[in-house]
């Protein structure tokens, strides 16, 4: 039943992919050049705490990938989900067929995974030209980590969107959650530089787990214990988000 929806998602993407080219593929290059190359010239790796990274570019590159994936995943499960319920009512047409709610959610999230995968792959290819990866295996591991990061944000936020009556909450989500996470989850500087209360908050955020895991894989500094904690955290959040998404959409469309 999930595979039967492939035609819809392929057709929809063919009609809309041009609008995502800049944010998905051009913006990453600007980030790398502006933050990693230009700003990085003023940061001395020997004096800064870069957690073993040979340069500031190598330090922020994994964080930029993870943070960008968070933004892409969020964008694909906020307005698009509410739109398919309230505005174009695509989900109402789907639920009138033999498709189950879980089939509808799974197909949409697989499309989000596709968007995350293509965006992350493009970002990592750009980074490869700057020689920030310790090994090819590390690059592949970082790619896999970003997929998990994307799903850790996509599934719970899908559940949030499925139960909303209007789009006003999306502005709050971006201002209160997405932007602060982007700035203060270790992408640009170690969270140890934050005041102790904020550092404690940063440690329990999904983006920090994603950034730290991606960075360890990129730099070749993988520690099994912390890596397993990151995987367990992000995997559990993804699973709980999936359950909540199906539950919320069922309440909205069926009950």
Residue 97 has pLDDT above 90, yes or no: no
Confidence of residue 233 (pLDDT cuts 50, 70, 90): very high
pTM of this structure? 0.89
What is the per-residue pLDDT across 113-172, written as a single tens digit (0 to 9) for each?
999 999 899 888 888 888 888 889 989 999 999 999 999 999 999 999 998 888 889 999
Q: Which of 108, 114, 111 is nearest to 82 (CA)?
A: 108
- Judge contact between 5 and 99, C-beta under 8 A: yes
Separation in Å, CA 153 to CA 32, 93, 94, 117, 145 = 23, 26, 24, 14, 13
Q: What pLDDT score was predicted for residue 56? A: 84
Whole-number Å distance between alpha carbons of 70 and 136? 23
Alpha helices in 56-135 (DSSP H): 56-76, 79-82, 90-95, 101-128
Plot region of 249 (φ>0 → left; ψ -120 to 50 → alpha; else → beta): alpha
What is the per-residue pLDDT across 29-63, written as a single tens digit (0 to 9) for each?
787 788 777 877 777 666 667 777 778 888 888 88
Look at residue 54 and give its three-state secondary structure: coil
């Amino acid at each position: 039943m999930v595979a039967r929806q492939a035609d819809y998602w392929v057709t929809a993407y063919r009609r809309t992919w041009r609008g995502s080219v800049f944010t998905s593929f051009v913006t990453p290059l600007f980030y790398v050049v502006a933050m990693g190359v230009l700003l990085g010239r003023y940061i001395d790796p020997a004096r800064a705490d870069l957690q073993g990274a040979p340069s500031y570019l190598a330090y922020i590159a994994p964080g930029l990938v993870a943070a960008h994936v968070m933004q892409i995943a969020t964008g694909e499960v906020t307005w698009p989900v509410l739109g398919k319920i309230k505005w174009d009512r695509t989900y109402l047409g789907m639920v009138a067929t033999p498709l189950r709610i879980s089939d509808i959610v799974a197909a949409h999230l697989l499309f989000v995974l596709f968007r995350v995968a293509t965006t992350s792959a493009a970002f990592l290819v750009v980074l490869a030209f700057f020689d920030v990866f310790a090994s090819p295996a590390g690059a592949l591991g970082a790619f896999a980590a970003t997929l998990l990061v994307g799903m850790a944000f996509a599934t719970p936020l899908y559940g949030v969107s499925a139960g909303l009556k209007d789009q006003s909450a999306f502005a709050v989500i971006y201002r209160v959650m997405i932007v602060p996470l982007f700035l203060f989850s270790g992408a640009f500087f170690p969270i140890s530089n934050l005041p102790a209360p904020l550092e404690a908050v940063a440690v329990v955020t999904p983006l920090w787990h994603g950034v730290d895991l991606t960075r360890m894989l990129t730099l070749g500094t993988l520690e099994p214990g912390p890596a397993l904690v990151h995987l367990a955290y992000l995997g559990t959040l993804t699973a709980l988000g999936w359950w909540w998404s199906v539950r919320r959409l069922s309440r909205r469309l069926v009950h």
